Structure 1
Amino acid sequence: MHTLSSRRSDDGIVEHDIDPHGVPGLLCVPESASLRTPAPLILMGHPGGLRHMRPRLLLRARRAAADGFATAALELPGAGGRRPLVDVDRARRELRRRIEAGASIDDELVDRLIAPLVSRAVPEWRSALDAVLRLPEIADGPVGVSGGVTAIGVRMAAVDLRVAALGLFAGSYVPRATLAEARGITTPLHMLLQWDDAGNDRDLALELFDAFGSSEKTLQANLGGHTRVPAHAGEDAARFFQRHLARTV
């Protein structure tokens, strides 16, 4: 795997700027991780370019490292310095116009916005996993998926058996095809829902949660908008990953 640069922070993690197969990425590893005590990996999803999201990703990485986990994030297709996805950008602008106008968001628009991201991002994530899990300080599985574009996380759980814990934030639009995929997924699930999230279809989020075939699934709903996630929600999500990845810690 191509590592562009590495640095040690003052809070116990080693930050690696990586470039697996030409896709910009960030890998954060606890200083305590080694060949004898490899760290389990959590894939961190996010909604944009790495440069813009880096401060928030590092906060999440430090929290995960305190629990003994390494974390990795890739830049989304079409985001940051990557080649723009013209049709996706057009769909995103239309979505914003409809939200501002109070107009309905139909399935066709959601498909145009989300489906191309899923079809491009998931193969990139799986290829990056192949590279990262070969590192001696990283446990070779299982892995967790945390946050990001919901449909990408669902597809990862559907197609990659290395994903043993799925943590979703019900804050992005979901194609109907994602609901169908969820019915075949048995991966343990922890879903966070902000009850007053103006940009999220609450009924669709509840429908998605209900669709999962997982025998262990938890829905945590809190009052407040998209950015008013309470601190204890992060603590609960951390305990979820500890339960399902701890055997490799």
Structure 2
Amino acid sequence: MHVTSEQRHDDGVVERELILGDIPGTLWTPASAEPVPLILMAHNNALPKCEPRLVARARHTAAAGYAVASIDAFGCGDRSRTEAQQLARAEFRRGMQAGPTDDVLESYTGPLVAGAVPDWRTTLDALLTLPEIGGPVGYSGWLALGIGLAAVEPRIAAAGFFAGGYVPRTQREAARQVTIPLLVLLQWDDAGNPRQRALDLFDAFGSTEKTLHANLGGHVGTPWFELEDGERFFDRHLRGSGPSLH
């Protein structure tokens, strides 16, 4: 793992650009002398790690006392793609514009998730060697990737998902294997993600502790207060703080 740049922000958060083999990543860490829990943060639909909404979430979460990491995994962001991947991406975009279907999703998103999961696990291996990161580990972001990662990665203790109805078949089947605490955010009027399919997927998760927050609005309309609620969720499960109501 090589650090290519480092910047300290006014709120004390340190932002470092990293290279792990051929995986570009960013790590945000708080101004803390003690090792802190780690949250892996992935943007929906393979957008880059530098996407402004993800960066804003990451910096806010780091300022709250977490190490936060994001990468451009296999086929994601600015990562170089093969000609076949470029063609598949173009077909996916055309298919989504015409109306998303399972066939469109399986042909592009399924292989994308399958390739990204090993990259995230490699990143996790490297980050957990850093003295400023003490675990445990959480995940926040893209639902399809989060299911694939949580189903095979025992080091992830809790996850926050942005719900989407169109999830590849393999991940829908794997949802029953996900048993960690979950906080799922659903945009009630998301035209690109059928609401009932998202609700059915929530029901399928094997977790005995899972919470669904539904808000009015379209795909990018998730209220900012959900970020603060998400941090309280991670405080409970990564720090063990906060009593339960009976």
Q: Does TM-score exceed 0.5, indicating one fold?
A: yes
2:129 is matched with 134
Q: 2: CA distance between counterparts of 1:30 and 1:68?
A: 6
Structure 2 counterpart of 1:68, from 62, 65, 70: 65
SS at structure 2 position matched to 1:50: coil
Q: Which amino acid aligns with 1:44?
A: M
SS at structure 2 position matched to 1:71: strand
| 1:244–1:171 distance in 2 versus 1, CA, 3 Å | same
Gaps of 5+ in 2: 242-246
Q: Which amino acid aligns with 2:126?
A: A
Deviation at 1:120, TM superposition (A): 1.3
Q: 2: CA distance between counterparts of 1:152 and 1:159?
A: 11
CA contact (8 A) 2:165 2:196 kept: no
Q: 1: CA distance between counterparts of 2:82 and 2:113?
A: 13
Structure of greater relative contact order (alpha carbons < 8 Å, 6+ residues apart): 1
CA contact (8 A) 1:67 1:242 kept: no
CA contact (8 A) 2:6 2:15 kept: yes
CA contact (8 A) 1:147 1:153 kept: yes
Deviation at 1:119, TM superposition (A): 1.5
Deviation at 1:114, TM superposition (A): 1.1
The count of aligned residue pairs is: 239
Q: 1:50-103: CA deviations, max 9, x gaps?
A: 34x1x33331122212321010000132234322244444444334434444x4
- Asked if 1:153 is matched to 2:150, the reply is no
23-32 vs 87-96, greater mean Cα deviation: 87-96
CA contact (8 A) 2:37 2:137 kept: yes
| 1:163–1:88 distance in 2 versus 1, CA, 3 Å | same
Matches within 5 A, 1:216-235: 216-235=209-228
CA contact (8 A) 1:151 1:174 kept: yes
CA contact (8 A) 1:41 1:72 kept: yes
170-179 vs 86-95, greater mean Cα deviation: 86-95
Structure 1 counterpart of 2:117, from 105, 122, 129: 122
Q: 1:108-136: CA deviations, max 9, x gaps?
A: 22111111111211111111111111100
SS at structure 2 position matched to 1:27: strand
Deviation at 1:172, TM superposition (A): 6.9
1:93 is matched with 90
SS at structure 2 position matched to 1:245: helix
2:37 is matched with 40
Q: 2: CA distance between counterparts of 1:118 and 1:193?
A: 21
Q: Which amino acid aligns with 1:221?
A: A
CA contact (8 A) 2:117 2:148 kept: yes
1:239 is matched with 232
Gaps of 5+ in 1: none
1:26 is matched with 26
Q: 2: CA distance between counterparts of 1:91 and 1:113?
A: 6
2:199 is matched with 206
Q: 1:188-223: CA deviations, max 9, x gaps?
A: 111000010111122221111111010000111111
| 1:201–1:92 distance in 2 versus 1, CA, 3 Å | farther
Q: 1: CA distance between counterparts of 2:94 and 2:208?
A: 39
2:155 is matched with 162
TM-score (norm 2): 0.90
CA contact (8 A) 2:12 2:30 kept: yes
1:2 is matched with 2
Q: 2: CA distance between counterparts of 1:109 and 1:221?
A: 26
CA contact (8 A) 1:24 1:75 kept: yes
Q: 1: CA distance between counterparts of 2:70 and 2:219?
A: 21
1:112 is matched with 107
